[in-house]
Structure formats: structure tokens, C-alpha cells
Amino acid sequence: MAISNKNARVSKVRINNEIRAETVRVVDPEGQHGIYPLEEAVTLAESRGLDLVEISPNADPPVCKIIDYGKYRYELQKKEKEARKKSHTIALKEIRFRPHTDTHDFDFKTKHAREFLEHGDKVRAYVQFRGRDIVYKDHGMTLLVRFIKELADVAKIDQEPKMEGRRMTTILSPIKKKA
């Protein structure tokens, strides 16, 4: 079977004499089924000009279908491509502030966070305290609370603001859009 390794699910499918079981449950194109020895099932498929394709190898006996293998492989690839198209990986984007971040910088970073959330990504916002900045923890808390309020219409809080070493961190995730 010369199949590219591009599609792992399709490459595992056994056809005709590659099937290892001695007896198989055969389903033909008309929906008729029965249990046959492997050799008889393969000749039955070849007499129709089709292939015997192992659909469910873990069943007892394994389920095989008499179908055109090329068409079956094409349908599987199409289904997997559609599934990949519908899936979305959620990334965690980071926004960094300092305790004395200015209003314009805050608005600019909040706008970016809004875009990330609308795209469906999570956002980790943190206030980095360096050197003597650690004295201004209240400024950091005020900044993160304001950040959360600004994004309340598009985000929900996954993690409340809390200190982690020299950082005060919060995590926001997008609110699910109603279809």
C-alpha cells in the first residue's frame, strides 16, 4: 500500500490480503452482510471489481466493507480536512504592564487584548515589579482591576489578580459567542 504518511488515519487501513483475520464480517454496497472466511470475502469483492476494506479491526470478527478503496480514502481525507478546519487552537497571549503605565499605553494594550479575546485567545495580563517598584503593589492591583473592567464585555476572569514572585498576574478568557 503506497500511501503518503501525510494522513496517519488513512495509512492504517488494511485492504484485501493485508487483512490479518481468518474470518470477517462483510458488508457489501447493497447493505447485505454476513460472516465469511477471508479468502472468500476477497474473491467476492474482486468479482465485483471493488476492494475489501477493513473498517473496524477491533470488532470480533473484524468488520470489512466491499467498496472502492480510492473513493473511501478520498472521503476519509475530506472528513479529516473538514474537522481540522472547524477546530481552533486557543493560544495564551501576554500583555505586560509596569506599575506606572501611562493612560495612552494602557489603552493601547487594552485594545490589543480585546482583539486577542475577540479572536478566541486567552490573555494573561501581568504587572512586572522591578527593583523598588515592589512598594507599589496597590498601583498594580488598580491597573489590573481597571484592565478587567475595560474588557468585561468580551472576557471573563479565569484567574483573579494575584502576586507570583515579582509579578501580579490575571488571566482572562473570551466569552462564548451565542450562535
Write the pLDDT tens digit of every residue in 32-70: 778 888 888 888 888 888 888 888 888 888 888 888 888
pLDDT digits (tens, 9 = 90+) for 69-128: 888 888 888 988 888 887 777 789 999 999 999 999 999 999 999 999 998 899 999 999
Domain around 113: 92-174
**Is there a contact between 91 and 122 (Cβ–Cβ < 8 Å)?**
yes
Grid cell for residue 72 = 473511501
On whether residue 2 sits in a domain, the answer given is: no
Residue where a domain stops, chosen among 30, 53, 86: 86
Same domain, 123 and 151: yes
Contacts of 140 (CB under 8 A, 6+ apart): 97, 99, 127, 129, 161, 168
Residue 70: Cβ-neighbour burial (10 angstroms; 0-12, 13-18, 19+): exposed
Give how many domains the chain has, as a whole number: 2
pLDDT of residue 104: 95
pLDDT, residue 62, reads 85
Are both 80 and 111 inside the same structural domain?
no
What CA–CA distance (Å, rounded) separates 125 from 129? 13
Residue 117: CB atoms within 10 Å: 21
Instruction: Based on the fold, state whether residues 52 and 97 are members of the same structural domain.
Output: no
Asked whether residue 179 is domain-assigned, the answer is no
- For residue 127, count CB atoms less than 10 angstroms from its CB and return exposed for 0-12, middle for 13-18, buried for 19 or more: buried
Cα angle 136, 140, 145; round to 5: 145
Strand order in the sheet with 92-97: 92-97, 122-128, 167-174, 155-164
Asked if residue 1 belongs to a domain, the reply is no
Q: 99: which 3 cell numbers?
A: 506599575
SS3 content of the chain, % helix, strand, coil (to 5): 40, 30, 30
Q: What is the CATH number of the domain that holds 167?
A: 3.30.110.10
Q: Is residue 157 part of a domain?
A: yes
Considering the domain architecture, whether residues 64 and 131 belong to the same structural domain is answered as no
Question: Quick one: pLDDT at residue 83?
Answer: 86
Question: Does a structural domain hold residue 56?
Answer: yes
**127 lies in the same domain as 100:** yes
CATH number for 23:
3.10.20.80
Same domain, 46 and 100: no
Same domain, 48 and 109: no
Is 124 part of a structural domain of the chain? yes
Domain-ending residue, one of 50, 66, 86: 86
State which of 56, 86, 116 marks the end of a domain.
86
Q: What is the pTM of this model?
A: 0.54
